[in-house]
């Protein structure tokens, strides 16, 4: 993550800035630019949302969103994947999905890019957990390692191909293994 040098802005001032590519995030009073996703990151992110939604959205348990701005707890982050339980989906006055998500996701998934700091990404997951998120995942494609962060518990390490990853309670029925996640990176011949 690149820290953007700037004058000190409040969260309200930050939120009126124009969106950028890659996104800017406001964490602990600092503006940090996310790195541009690369191949492994984009592949995993691109497969995760439809895979999660094929179970949780179809059954109206939840909805997974890629790169969705979530503003809560004095910060504004853009998780690689943000999953909200169906009961907590922000809706507008027409009953449509809202444009603004001013709550923490129920499940936050971050995919580490080569130049990203483990510490800064972990801090983002912990910020979400401290504001009501039920589960966080940190996926490291280069190390073939996934850390799961269940709310109120110690992080859980996963490396074994057959290991089934924990998911939030509202996603029961969704089963993903370490092998599923990293198998998406294999190019079929």
Taking only the tens place, the pLDDT of each residue in 111-146 is: 999 888 899 899 999 999 999 999 999 999 999 999
Mean pLDDT, residues 60-72 taken together: 97
- Three-state DSSP state, 120: helix
Confidence at residue 115, expressed as pLDDT on a 0 to 100 scale? 83
Check pLDDT > 60 for residue 64. yes
Output the CA torsion 172→92→26→85 (10° steps): -10
Say how far residue 19 (Cα) sits from the centre of its chain. Answer: 18
Rounded distance between C-alpha atoms, residue 142 and residue 10, angstroms: 36
Rounded distance between C-alpha atoms, residue 135 and residue 106, angstroms: 7
Residue-wise DSSP of 15-72: HTSPP-SSPEEEETTEEEEPPPP-HHHHHHHHHHHHHHHHHHTTTTSEEEEES--EEE
Q: Give me the chain's average pLDDT, please.
A: 93
């Amino acid at each position: 993550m690149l820290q953007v040098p700037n004058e000190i802005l409040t969260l309200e001032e930050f939120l009126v800035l124009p969106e950028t590519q890659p996104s800017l995030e406001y964490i602990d009073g600092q503006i940090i630019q996310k790195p541009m996703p690369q191949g492994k990151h984009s592949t995993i992110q691109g497969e995760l949302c439809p895979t999660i939604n094929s179970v949780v959205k179809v059954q109206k348990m939840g909805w997974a969103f890629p790169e969705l701005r979530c503003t809560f707890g004095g910060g504004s982050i853009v998780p690689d994947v943000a999953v909200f339980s169906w009961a907590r989906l922000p809706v507008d006055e027409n009953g449509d999905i809202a444009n603004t998500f001013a709550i923490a996701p129920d499940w936050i998934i971050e995919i580490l890019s080569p130049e990203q700091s483990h510490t800064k990404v972990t801090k983002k997951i912990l910020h979400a957990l401290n504001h009501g998120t039920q589960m966080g995942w940190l996926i490291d494609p280069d190390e073939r390692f996934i850390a799961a962060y269940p709310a109120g518990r110690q992080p859980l390490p996963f490396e074994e191909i057959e290991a089934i990853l924990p998911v939030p309670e509202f996603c029961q029925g969704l089963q993903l293994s370490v092998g599923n996640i990293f198998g998406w990176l294999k190019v079929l011949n």
